[in-house]
Structure 1
Amino acid sequence: MPQPEREHSPATPAAHPAPAHPHTATLRRLEKSSGRLAANAIARMDETLPWYRAMPPENRSWIGLVAQAGIAAFTEWFRHPETPQAISTDVFGTAPRELTRAITLRQTVEMVRTTIEVMEAAIEEVAAPGDESILREALLVYAREIAFATAQVYAQAAEARGAWDARLESLVVNAVLSGEADEGALSRAAALGWNSPEHVCVVLGTAPEGDSELTVEAIRRAARHHKLQVLTGVLGDRLVVIAGGSDNPIQVAKSLIGPFAAGPVVAGPVVSDLLNATKSAQAAAAGLKACTAWQDAPRPVLADDLLPERAIASDPAARDQLVEEIYRPLEEAGSALLETLSVYLEQASSLEGAARMLFVHPNTVRYRLRRVTDVTGWSPSDVRSAFTLRIALILGRLADGDPQS
């Protein structure tokens, strides 16, 4: 008995069957071979890649998952070649983000190459008769896409790591400059590759206009060229460089001066480590502030060469340094040196005039002034040194006259 025809609802049209894949047999054989191909790829890596054999089991298992995901992604890509696939997500999304730190880009390329070679070697076996060239061409296109995906994954990881490193470096530089450097700053610096050099100094100057990242990279290139370690950053309008590896701060500043903008560049004194770099940074900052008072200052200039300007600009560290390094040693060496230096400076640096005021022979004055140079390191016959000595004498007398100073 004939069956009545079923009525189709106008709201639900009949479903159209999906078009058949043009290479159904090859696709079916590829699906069945995926597990075996992944196992062969892992075995080939274990055989030919020494770094893979040396890795801990956890990382090896993640790499195995990536290889399996790569072959599975190729199968899916071959099934729907017209649909763009997010290969980087399909393949590398199976592994944790930390894997990009565990294996290098070169090792990842070797892993991908090995997997592709295993798949290519199996084409004759996997492809249905007559589909060998089709499968080979598809594999070549897929290999290109997986190469771009690999580059993208590592580029994104490098960008994220670079941004994080820049923030970390900025925290260290700011801690040193503000006097808040502690063990936490040391650990952050170590994470950035700072290996605690014996000699450290801070160089300060004006930052150029434009992209601060380009300025920082220029400092790093100059540091690598001169074999220096640096932690650097742009803070406001100032370019700050913490440099390690040299006991000559003026030479360090000359080596790194290129990226600085026009204007004074001041190098702080050398200190023993990063924790003490605050002293160098504060001296450099005070020198940069006071440098406008010395119009003929060299570029770069040492912070210690700006001691008189810094003292006049109310830098207590500079005042203490002038008193402790110049006035006190002269005081301990005997009153004759202090008296002779004072009279000599008051007499417009005249040996004869000082000798008359002191009732001594000019040679005696000359000998005492040489002793002043030996004791302090500053020569009274040099105009700049004489200015520094004069400020030190004034500060010393003020300190002696005020018990609270």
Structure 2
Amino acid sequence: MPEPTEPAEPPSSRRPEHPHTATLKRLEQSSGKLAAAAIARMDEQLPWYRAMPPENRSWIGLVAQAGIAAFTEWFRHPETPQAISTDVFGTAPRELTRAITLRQTVEMVRTTIEVVETAIDEVAAPGDESVLREALLVYAREIAFATAQVYAQAAEARGAWDARLESLVVNAVLSGEADEGAVSRAAALGWNSPEHVAVVLGTAPDGDSELTVEAIRRAARHAKLQVLTGVLGNRLVVIAGGSNDPLRAAKSLIGPYAPGPVVAGPVVGDLLSATRSAQAAAAGLKACAAWPDAPRPVLADDLLPERAMAGDPAARQLLVEEIYRPLEAAGSALLETLSVYLEQATSLEGAARMLFVHPNTVRYRLRRVTDVTGWLPSDVRSAFTLRVALILGRLADGEPQH
């Protein structure tokens, strides 16, 4: 009785034999040798590779080996779509994209491809040279696209992280919580600790906030300013460094702001002190409604009387300490003359009659007021500021002492 035989495997289940089996086998056997040759050539031709620490060089070596192994697998199944970026670059840590630049990665890939290309005549079975060369050409294109994708994804991730980091710094300055941690985060974003810093506040435009932030950065580059910026709620906040003129800085950055008031805080010495500038700018932005004809942009210090009336204690203190107290220290004649001129008289002659002095004496004393305070009594806007300062100074003097 004949022995039973196993049923033949259905033709549909048989795996088709690779059309270039000999070449594939030789390619598999040569992969280690090719990877070593690629690393040796990189060490010979690429100075940046020789200068790298051993850890990074070992990772690059693994990437080269993975690249050749991926080419072998791709040659085995050219019809099957594969994630080359995962096969090749997935062997190295994500930090490697920070350690080597895109240009250096391109040089690494080019060197590896060149090594494989020069070995084609040795690796390919007789008659398969053109097939292997064509396969390598297509694979080189795919690996180029994969390289671009890896760096594009890394750039997007860094951009998103940098945006979050920048938002944290801007929010810390605006909320008064800036500390050394905020300074460190700003340094990581490229902030070089300029000597002059001012905060500019205004309304953010509708639409994509990322486009607004990028427009601010373009304007800052043109004006040669350092900036940290972000959209917080409906406010566009810019921390500008590198100019001791906050009004000039605000004018150079005003383009991306939405219509409405834009206020520049006073210049401070560093990022930790920028909270004071931000608070002054925020108080000025709130008080702008009381001065409809305010210029755009406007300095927060030009809004001192409106800020004081809106309840800003810093503005009240500034008006008293920088106007009233210096006049008080300069002598009672200046305070009396300024008070009569602003509150009771409408001219130099009228003030002179009320004070029983010559008009030239009044003129001289008013010039002294300008020298002491920096404000011109004959100017309508300055006169308003001086008058508010006098009122606040008297109120301060009239408060009971505890």
Normalised by the length of structure 2, the TM-score is 0.98
Residues 115-126 of structure 1 mapped to structure 2, 5 A cutoff: 115-126=112-123
**In the alignment, residue 336 of structure 2 is paired with which amino acid?**
E
In the TM superposition, what is the alpha-carbon distance from 1:14 to its structure 2 partner? 8.5
In the TM superposition, what is the alpha-carbon distance from 1:7 to its structure 2 partner? 6.5
User: Unaligned regions of 5+ residues in structure 2, if any?
Assistant: none
**In the alignment, residue 223 of structure 2 is paired with which amino acid?**
H
How far, CA to CA, are the matches of 1:84 and 1:281 in structure 2?
A: 55
How far, CA to CA, are the matches of 2:10 and 2:64 in structure 1?
A: 43
How far, CA to CA, are the matches of 1:76 and 1:228 in structure 2?
A: 52
Moved over 4 A (4+): 12-15
* Structure 1 contact 201–269 (Cα < 8 Å) conserved: yes
Q: State the partner residue of 2:268.
A: 271
Residue 328 (str. 1) matches residue 325 (str. 2): yes
How far, CA to CA, are the matches of 2:345 and 2:383 in structure 1?
A: 10
Q: State the partner residue of 1:4.
A: 3
Residue 137 (str. 1) matches residue 134 (str. 2): yes
**Deviations 1:331-380 (Å, cap 9, x if unpaired)?**
00000000000000124541000000000000000000000000000000
Q: State the partner residue of 2:278.
A: 281
Residues 376-387 of structure 1 mapped to structure 2, 5 A cutoff: 376-387=373-384
Give the secondary-structure state (helix, strand or coil) at the position aligned to 1:242: strand
Q: State the partner residue of 2:197.
A: 200
Q: 1:159 aligns with which of 146, 150, 156?
A: 156
In the TM superposition, what is the alpha-carbon distance from 1:386 to its structure 2 partner? 0.3
How far, CA to CA, are the matches of 2:202 and 2:346 in structure 1?
A: 35
% identical equivalent positions: 88
How far, CA to CA, are the matches of 2:401 and 2:188 in structure 1?
A: 45
How far, CA to CA, are the matches of 2:55 and 2:260 in structure 1?
A: 55
Q: 2:147 aligns with which of 140, 145, 150?
A: 150
In the TM superposition, what is the alpha-carbon distance from 1:25 to its structure 2 partner? 1.2
Residue 247 (str. 1) matches residue 244 (str. 2): yes
**In the alignment, residue 362 of structure 1 is paired with which amino acid?**
P
In the TM superposition, what is the alpha-carbon distance from 1:125 to its structure 2 partner? 1.4
**In the alignment, residue 383 of structure 1 is paired with which amino acid?**
V
Residue 51 (str. 1) matches residue 48 (str. 2): yes
In the TM superposition, what is the alpha-carbon distance from 1:15 to its structure 2 partner? 8.1
**Deviations 1:123-171 (Å, cap 9, x if unpaired)?**
1111111111111111111011101111111111111111111111111
Residue 61 (str. 1) matches residue 73 (str. 2): no
Give the secondary-structure state (helix, strand or coil) at the position aligned to 1:204: strand
* Structure 1 contact 355–362 (Cα < 8 Å) conserved: yes
Compared CA separation, residues 160 and 302, structure 1 to 2 (3 A)? same
How far, CA to CA, are the matches of 1:236 and 1:309 in structure 2?
A: 24
**Deviations 1:243-284 (Å, cap 9, x if unpaired)?**
111101001101110110000000000000000000000000
Q: State the partner residue of 1:231.
A: 228
How far, CA to CA, are the matches of 1:176 and 1:349 in structure 2?
A: 45
Q: State the partner residue of 1:373.
A: 370
**In the alignment, residue 334 of structure 1 is paired with which amino acid?**
G
In the TM superposition, what is the alpha-carbon distance from 1:4 to its structure 2 partner? 2.5
**Deviations 1:206-226 (Å, cap 9, x if unpaired)?**
000000000011111111111
Q: State the partner residue of 1:340.
A: 337
Residue 351 (str. 1) matches residue 348 (str. 2): yes
* Structure 1 contact 349–381 (Cα < 8 Å) conserved: no
In the TM superposition, what is the alpha-carbon distance from 1:6 to its structure 2 partner? 3.8
**Deviations 1:73-108 (Å, cap 9, x if unpaired)?**
000000000111110000000000110111111111
Give the secondary-structure state (helix, strand or coil) at the position aligned to 1:239: strand
In the TM superposition, what is the alpha-carbon distance from 1:320 to its structure 2 partner? 0.2
Q: State the partner residue of 1:71.
A: 68
In the TM superposition, what is the alpha-carbon distance from 1:403 to its structure 2 partner? 2.9
In the TM superposition, what is the alpha-carbon distance from 1:8 to its structure 2 partner? 5.1
Normalised by the length of structure 1, the TM-score is 0.97
User: Unaligned regions of 5+ residues in structure 1, if any?
Assistant: none
Q: State the partner residue of 1:104.
A: 101
Compared CA separation, residues 402 and 278, structure 1 to 2 (3 A)? same
Q: State the partner residue of 1:217.
A: 214
Compared CA separation, residues 404 and 229, structure 1 to 2 (3 A)? farther
**In the alignment, residue 131 of structure 1 is paired with which amino acid?**
D
CA RMSD of aligned residues (A): 1.5
**In the alignment, residue 226 of structure 2 is paired with which amino acid?**
Q
Give the secondary-structure state (helix, strand or coil) at the position aligned to 2:136: helix
**Deviations 1:23-67 (Å, cap 9, x if unpaired)?**
111111111111111111111111111110000000000000000
Residues 149-188 of structure 1 mapped to structure 2, 5 A cutoff: 149-188=146-185
| Larger displacement relative to structure 2 (352-361 or 14-23) | 14-23
How far, CA to CA, are the matches of 2:149 and 2:345 in structure 1?
A: 72
